[in-house]
Amino acid sequence: MNRPPAIVRHSILLVAALAAIVAVFARPAIPQDPAYHQFADQRSLLGIPNCLNVLSNLPFAIAGLLGISATMRGRGNPWTRWPYLALFAGVALTTFGSGYYHLQPDNARLVWDRLPMTVGFMGLLTALLAERISVAVSRWFFVPLLLLGAGSVLYWYWSELRHAGDLRLYILVQFGSLLLIVLILLLYPARNAGTGYIVAALVAYAAAKGFEQADSAIFSLGHFVSGHTIKHLTAAAGVALLVAMQRDFASLDKIDNNS
């Protein structure tokens, strides 16, 4: 695949980042819709309120811990493990944050749901920066991006407490990071054979967001399972693909070291 010169690729990435910032902050503040907390499936089972929305977070713990284990077995540049460790740690912690939120959904608990997710988003972004652009660039951005992610959630909640709710920074962190991830995949060559896994994981995440939007519509089809529960399972499946990628990398490292 023919790609433009490095300076052009870097410029496209920078312009896209700036355009995302302008597009998000050009509009008025966006408060959290109170209806967001009204999920279709509010059944209590096994003594657990909103049971399926709570328990469907368990696969995140499994995928996150397996991802941490697979990443630690890698033998490449030790630095490149840190972004993936952040990604999988964020995923594992989502089990507790999202589970806590869904027991009694409100803004205060939503903070603990969103915080670990931003760690995951920024972990994947900095992992791709290291793998496709520059390890030095990734190291420089790693901590600032993690702080930006966490700060976006804290700023939103602070703004809600002041009755001036503003989700714009959090929206930028979530969807801006995904935009940059897609552009990095398109613009920069891969040093490892993991592109298919990452693309499939992104498709799974997009599907998960679709299930989230169809929460009530899916639940109305027999009142068996809701779209939000399926969202959790689909997103966890996407993370499992990244775990499989890390396991492949660890296996290849082992083969290289034994050859």
Query: Which pairs count as long-range contacts for 183-187, CB under 8 Å and 24+ apart, including other chains?
Result: 183/12, 183/13, 183/16, 184/13, 184/128, 184/129, 184/132, 184/133, 185/128, 185/132, 187/3, 187/4, 187/9, 187/12, 187/13
CB 184 within 8 A of CB 133: yes
**pLDDT-derived band of residue 259, with 50, 70 and 90 as boundaries?**
very low
Least-confidence region, from 163-177, 210-224, 240-254: 240-254
Q: Cβ of 214: how many Cβ atoms within 10 Å?
A: 18
Task: Give tens-digit pLDDT for 80-114.
Answer: 899 999 999 999 999 999 999 999 999 999 999 99
What backbone torsions phi and psi does residue 45 show, to the nearest 5 degrees? -135, 145
- Provide the percentage of residues in the chain whose pLDDT is more than 90: 88
Distance of alpha carbon 98 from alpha carbon 113, whole angstroms: 4
- Residue 36 has what pLDDT? 96
Whether this model's pTM surpasses 0.85? yes
Give all domains of the chain, ordered by start, each with its CATH number: 6-258 (1.20.1070)
Measured distance CA(126)–CA(83) in Å, rounded? 6
Give dist(CA 233, CA 227) in Å, integer. 10
Please give the radius of gyration of the chain, using alpha carbons only, rounded to the nearest integer. Answer: 19
Residue 225 has pLDDT above 80, yes or no: yes
Closest CA to 247 of 176, 197, 209: 197
Mean pLDDT of the chain: 94
- Reported as a single tens digit per residue, the pLDDT across 109-126 is 999 999 999 999 999 999
| β-bridge mates for residue 45, sequence order | 48
pLDDT over 80 at 164, yes or no: yes
Residue 2, pLDDT above cutoff 90 = no
